[in-house]
Structure 1
């Protein structure tokens, strides 16, 4: 909520948009992002914690029983100091989770439509991120009545690395618990190829210097969006990308095969933050999106953004009848 303490969460555009979607019947998930990257966590029984929980209450007043899933913490280990991972982090988030559970019990009890999960674990393909703090996170989620499971964000370089997330989380879930995947991608693989030269065939077709680096070509597309065909050709002619064009389908099937997946969500369009100050060291998140809305122009006469290569068709194919909700496509007052 940042500086909106006085007006409350209803004035936050993201939350109001989410609530409108909920009113229409869409499934909705809200994560409580509580970053402490540059400061220590407040002690559980301190006035600082009381102040923070008062802000949390403003959100709960607005979204409880309206959103389907509320996640306590966004990316807690990324959004904290490493020195706090094995103690203060757990003390803090457990206090917040217990507060959220108590709020739900007081206001709606067992009839609440809002399910509670613990926030997303990252980098579980790296040993140091599977340490004492992560073990405590899973134990708290498993033993706490009212917590439905945990979220994971497997941004990886391979399917094998994504499986390491599942190998860590799934065996540590309690009976009846499941996991969310509110973010996932191959962005770590894409990063490895940003300084590669563009494919020679692509350079010849579009009369570009063969010495042009991939990141430089992407920057050109950001500054002056290409045709959909040119954008898709860059990806199709790049073996590191084209060889993974079915990755989205394969990855979701891996999640589903555990029998423990609650929800997986995926990014739809390229956002402004993905393209701002794009350079060789910036994570190429924009290669993940279903639509190349900032790097390519729509097809002639099309009213929808240009499509990325591969993800769009895979995403459509993954939709199952049993997952669909009755959605009202008419207007909803804001």
Structure 2
């Protein structure tokens, strides 16, 4: 599939860009910009690419040289729709207040990246997972003040340099585990109130990583009534990862163990560990998952979840974990979060194809492709 090249906005003032696709599904790479292989995207008919940018990494050198910035701009130049998330990790300290050196450092980072991406990416997300990438004791109104200030900086830049129908849409992101009542707080209420009261913000981002598909509905029940009717939501990450986690210590399928010589007492995480150490032939990996009822019974999760999102009529775009990245397999063990089971492509656990491309996970590829046509 060849894509028509669509250039970004080279001038300071952008011409009006195309409206965002409603209900689109794309490819999420998180921080792993090095994993983008356009052959994979073409095989899956994907039209959207999402990356996040850890803002402290901009201290290492020029923003224009950061791999995530270069990769997202390259994807846009190749005709893909693009999402870039600005990630502000605060797991080691409280959010800085305006006027402090720490706050000014964050402003400097934002100012470094905005001229490169504004008017070029289709969606810019302010924040990745604020309520996870922070200490529990700091998830208060200081968190809101910080992100509102970052949003104000982004909005001011777009108003000054990319007015008149700027291509880049702005979202606040992302809210996690809203299926748990303890995560619906005074701070999340203010988060949504800010989204609703700020006309320059197109909507909110959510990350429903959940133990069951039913747990995605509380996310929608929470955010939709708290936005203006014309606002939309995006879903840059979603999965059943906590269901996979519950099954890691389960016993491997007996037929699989017998066929491939695994101990009958082997646990699922141990089979995955073996695949990470020596990638399996595709048929072997597929058999392991297909013979596991906890996985096989949920192989249409992607299609079922997208239907729930789309049925609201307010989904702009969702992106799903596209490729097993290096962070997913590091320090693998029984307690490791099995993100790699979400991935459309499985280069870490499955041998590569003869042409060097990654093999796909049997469970997701057909539904992913079919969802591009709806």
Q: TM-score range by the shorter chain?
A: over 0.9
Q: Is the 8 A contact 2:58 2:109 kept in 1?
A: no
| Structure 1 gap segments, 5+ residues each | 322-334
1:276 match: 330
| Structure 2 gap segments, 5+ residues each | 1-54
Cα distance in 2 for partners of 1:58, 1:211 equals 54
Cα distance in 2 for partners of 1:49, 1:180 equals 28
1:247 is aligned to 2:301: yes
2:8 match: none
Alignment deviations for residues 65-101 of structure 1 (CA, whole Å, 9 cap, x no partner): 1111100100011011222222100011001101110
Residue correspondence of structure 1 range 95-174 to structure 2 within 5 A: 95-174=149-228
Q: CA deviation at 1:302?
A: 5.5
1:313 is aligned to 2:313: no
Range that drifts further, 288-297 or 103-112: 103-112
Cα distance in 2 for partners of 1:307, 1:268 equals 9
| 1:188 corresponds to which of 210, 235, 242 | 242
Q: CA deviation at 1:7?
A: 3.8
1:10 is aligned to 2:64: yes
1:69 match: 123
What root-mean-square deviation, in Å, do the aligned CA atoms of Structure 1 and Structure 2 show? 1.4
TM-score (norm 1): 0.93
Structure 1 residue ranges, 4+ long, deviating more than 4 angstroms after superposition = none
Cα distance in 1 for partners of 2:171, 2:198 equals 11
2:315 match: 261
Q: Is the 8 A contact 1:8 1:59 kept in 2?
A: no
| 2:266 corresponds to which of 194, 212, 223 | 212
Q: Is the 8 A contact 1:151 1:182 kept in 2?
A: yes
Cα distance in 1 for partners of 2:185, 2:308 equals 24
2:231 match: 177
Q: CA deviation at 1:48?
A: 2.6
Q: CA deviation at 1:23?
A: 1.3
Cα distance in 1 for partners of 2:211, 2:334 equals 17
Cα distance in 2 for partners of 1:6, 1:285 equals 28
The DSSP-based 3-state class of the residue aligned with 2:56 is: coil
TM-score (norm 2): 0.83
The DSSP-based 3-state class of the residue aligned with 2:84 is: strand
Q: CA deviation at 1:3?
A: 4.7
Q: CA deviation at 1:6?
A: 7.0
Give the count of matched residue pairs.
320
Q: Is the 8 A contact 1:225 1:295 kept in 2?
A: yes
The DSSP-based 3-state class of the residue aligned with 1:30 is: strand
